[in-house]
Amino acid sequence: MESSVSVSGSLSGVRVIEAGQLLAGPFAATLLGDQGADVIKVEPPGVGDPMRAWGRTDGTSLWWPVVGRNKRSVTLNLREAEGQELFLQLVAEADIVIENFRAGTFERWNLSYEQLKAVNPGIIMVRVSGYGQTGPYANRAGYGSIGEAMGGLRYVLGDADRQPARAGISIGDSLAAMHATVGTLSALQHRNRTGEGQVVDASIYESVLAMMESLVTEWDVAQYQRERTGAILPNVAPSNVYPTKDDQLVLIAANQDTVSARLFALMGKPEWSEPGHPYASHVGRGKAQVELDALISEWTATVMAEELLEMMNDGGVPAGRIYKAADMLEDPHFQARDSIVQVPDQTFGQLRMQNVVPKLSATPGAIRWTGPDLGQHNDEVFGDLLGIPAEQRASLAERGII
């Protein structure tokens, strides 16, 4: 629970000041904290990150313990000059600053990169925003959903006969955070070589765009527009969700030639993979996608789900159930790899949540504590790290600065 918990991970010794809110910036800091970084989260006094009120059960957030894990919380009013001065003092003791406000906000708060660099020449400033720090849209408000729309993802999600769907998670924010993390680690390596800090400019729409495979190139060269196709990728077959005798759904992905041949053999149709047969090649299976899926569905509907999964596993064909949380908690593979761990929490006693990813063999990260209370580490950070006396801290708190 407390920051006295021993630190493990490859980023042990790296200090991050996170001045973000909601998910895009904070999740980047979570990823760094999971690998051992000392993350000091700066939040508005009395209010805190809105994520503290999201995902509620009986009035208490179950989202905050996850996104706030491995962070120390301090309160600081960045709209006031005294708060800005204290922030710069934190910057002087840090390696990385993460912010995800609208472009120009930190400049208005007298916290531009140039001002941060003046107190710490090696500082890495990570800026996560909807549209990036430059360009005609830079100053617009931008949420993850808008980035998903403009980055091309929303258009291709869902069924062809309906309006675009969305993923059931904040995927745009999370992708921006992951790209921001890649940029942060790249900038950290550059600084380790040269001593030079820099700005990492991660936009949500470009982070989504980066994941869109060949969508732009296909249009540029062949004027081919990807459309919504539901559970399949056009011309990639067989790869779909198929029914079973006990009314379960099993996803089978056998679109590679050698794998489809193994599937066809299990179905008692080895001739389908013989040279010259329409289903023997990737192109042929793609053209016959609808009829092939129908034939496979007809066969899987005669087999119980567990039996089907065993057949696929024994036959070397990738397959699996579509899991919900309850399935994950019971799965022996999840358990063997500690994919989900139980950690102490000051509100709930114990919580289960996803573990640190990826797993490093020599310097594994860890969940050291869950999301802290608002301002829980004010004395620890402002007192121990910055050396501000108790009387002065009390005065700052009284005036709403911390």
Q: Tell me phi and psi for residue 343, to 5 degrees.
A: -130, 150
**Helices 171-194 and 24-34: angle between axes, nearest 10 degrees:** 50
Helix, coil or strand: residue 257:
helix
DSSP states along 292-360: HHHHHHHHHTTS-HHHHHHHHHHTT--EEE---HHHHHH-HHHHHTTSEEEEEETTTEEEEEE--SSPP
What b/e string do you get for 83-99 counting C-beta neighbours within 10 Å, with b at 16 or more?
A: bbebbbbbbeebbbbbb
DSSP letter assigned to residue 4:
T
Q: Which two tokens stand for residue 358?
A: 């990826």
- Residue 284: φ, ψ to 5°: -65, -45
Catalytic member of 38, 49, 95, 173: 173
Q: Report d(CA 284, CA 16) in Å as an integer.
A: 52
173 is catalytic: yes
Q: Which residues are catalytic?
A: 173
